[in-house]
Structure 1
Amino acid sequence: MKTTVRNFAIALIAGVFTFSTVLASEPIGKKDESKTASKRTFDVGMYRVINSMKVNVLIEKQQGKALDITLKNDRNEVIYSEVVAKNAGKFSKKFDLTGLSDGKYRFEISNGKEVISKEVNLETHAPTPAEYRSVEVK
């Protein structure tokens, strides 16, 4: 009985110190990112399809506002533009970047007030010749 009370007391004290350490490690005046994220009316996710030149763009938004999606090159020229309808809550599209030359490109998703920008870098890597050795057994 004494050992369980002692173990419980040690666990309680360790928990209190751990909790106070976590609270003390939070910087004072730090902006709460969850509050700023909740003010956003849309969010964008983007990932590359493995072994291809395709990129998936996923958008989740509040209904009621249209979104503009533009793909721009490094000279800020618009290569592609599309509008996501007001009544859509989710949007996804696979972009094939095969025909584009090497360089930096930027997807900009905007509702007129907010803009989320995602950068894509296209590079062609020349294949490196591999050294082959052969063994012959006679």
Structure 2
Amino acid sequence: MKAVEITSYGAPEVLRLGARSAPVDGAGEVLIRVNASGVNRPDVLQRMGHYPVPPGASDIPGLEVAGVIVSGDAGAMAAAGLKAGDRVCALVAGGGYAELCVAPVAQCLPVPAGLSDIEAASLPETFFTVWSNVFER
């Protein structure tokens, strides 16, 4: 699959399109064909060398995506009311700047009617931050 890679730390010019193996979804996860990715402060900081990749996360930048579920944990998807072919946006630990990305089912949201993938890709980071701070604290 194609993915944006950070070739060294610095300005946007260090980003290059490369080839990577496709990720594989596991328990509680879905594989998403990415149509759009959000750009956030952590992505910029990662490119500059100031945001370490979390343990176990992809080194491919991109923390929020929108696209279509390709496959996933059938039980977790059913419990969340999702299925292969659904349009979703998702918050991920990394890997969003690629053709395919793995996301936890619990961090996927159906794309609201009327929103483009570009608009939907801008939702997860903000939505989950607000939800966590307002409803879970």
Q: Which protein has the bigger helix share?
A: 2
The answer, yes or no, to whether TM exceeds 0.5 is: no
Q: What is the TM-score with the length of structure 2 in the denominator?
A: 0.22
Q: What is the TM-score with the length of structure 1 in the denominator?
A: 0.22
Higher-Rg member (1/2): 1
Q: Which protein has the bigger strand share?
A: 1
Q: Comparing both chains, which one has the higher relative contact order based on Cα–Cα distances under 8 Å and sequence gaps of 6 or more?
A: 2
